[in-house]
Amino acid sequence: MIKKIKCNQKEFENINNDKQAYKIFDNGLNLEYLETCKLINENTDEELEIQITSVKRYNSLDDVLNIINLENFGIYDNKEDFIKYINKIYGGSEYLVCRIKKTANRIIVDDEKLLNLIQIETLQQEKLGLSGCLVYRVKTKENQDAILKVQNVKGNDTLKEEYDVLKYLKDKMSVANVYYYNLYENKEYLLREYIEGEPLYKSNKFGYQLGQELKKIHEHYNEKCQFKKFAVNNLLNNAIEKINTVYQLRGEYFKDFSKNDLINFLQENKPNDDALIHGDFSLTNFLVNNQKYYYIDLGNVSISTKYFDIYILKKSLKINDLEEEWEEFLRGYNLDDYNEIYMRWMELIELSYN
């Protein structure tokens, strides 16, 4: 049964108007990754359906704000006002922080060039994804199925990256054709080909094929590639910068490590296996149609360690109760030199990102 959670009017309006991407919940709630629930405006009883796209617990608001920018929590003049406001409502020694996304959104397209390319009346929101953008199925004026992504400009997370990646990969891998990209009045629009197909994981014994296909991506490595936001040195520097949060959230394997121990581990075990990575190689981002394989959601493509993708995939298998495919994946990839230490390294890297 879907959870209903009361929410004050300020937060409700922020979330409903796409001005708040994270919410702090009562620490007693048991919210789970990808869970759908409803926020109830305690003043009006209005309901808003959301999905939880990340769940983490922190010991202090300072730790929270070391990882998540203040602007992601709505409209606050400064850090002090935010802390005062949150402590008034949720004051305690631990904070449950979730990234959230509305499951239904109304869209207004103001870009006239885009309107000349699509049949606006055919817009239909796609199944909720994990990124911050809205995703719609739409027909072009030529009556072709297409995907329209829309998002407000925010920090370094832009649809321009996905646009550039799709153009770069067009002659290298099976990816969607790009029809249009534009930044208009602080809102990004990306229109691309709709790829027909089913997620490969719905096939029987898919692990071996998944391993083969991921290896093909990694073999497209070129040191001159322009996409380097997840380069190993960038990952390492970010983790060291956020070492207080990494230390607080560390798992069982690292429970006896001090902060200096963690820094030493990160520095001494930095991977040296650069590859062209997908950057979000979860089970839903790989499609098959008549034995042809397609890669989607490519906004995080980068030069990095191949264990970035392998770590995400293993986590995705676990979340979907498909861990029995892990050994077949390794066999398909032909990963004879599988490195568990690099997976531990990625475990710490994940803690420094949201």
Q: What's the pLDDT at 157? A: 67
Per-residue pLDDT band at 156 (split at 50, 70, 90): low
Was domain 198-351 assigned CATH 3.90.1200.10?
yes
Q: Which CATH class is domain 112-193?
A: alpha beta
In tens, the pLDDT along 244-285 reads 989 988 989 999 999 999 999 999 999 999 999 999 998 888
Calculate ∠ Cα 215-203-134, nearest 5°: 75
pLDDT at 312 over 90: yes
Is pLDDT at 205 greater than 80 in this prediction? Answer: yes
Contact 141, 116 (CB under 8 A): yes
In the chain, what are the domain boundaries? Answer: 3-102, 112-193, 198-351
Which pLDDT value is given to residue 94? 85
- Nearest to residue 133, comparing CAs of 191, 74, 56? 191
| Mean pLDDT of the 21-31 span | 89
pLDDT band at 354 (very low <50, low <70, confident <90, very high): low
* Lateral strand order in the sheet of 22-25: 3-7, 36-41, 47-58, 95-102, 22-25
Question: What pLDDT is stored for residue 132 in this prediction?
Answer: 63
How far apart (Å, rounded) are the C-alpha atoms in residues 260 and 297? 36
Q: What is the mean pLDDT of residues 44-65?
A: 88
57: pLDDT confidence band, cut at 50, 70 and 90?
A: confident
Q: Per-residue pLDDT tens for 222-240? A: 888 899 999 999 999 999 9
How many CA within 13 A on the CB side of residue 335?
23
Instruction: Note whether 293 and 200 are within 8 A (CB).
Output: yes
Residue 203 confidence class, pLDDT cut points 50, 70, 90: confident
Whole-number pLDDT of residue 155: 57
Instruction: Say if domain 3-102 classifies as CATH 2.30.130.30.
Output: yes
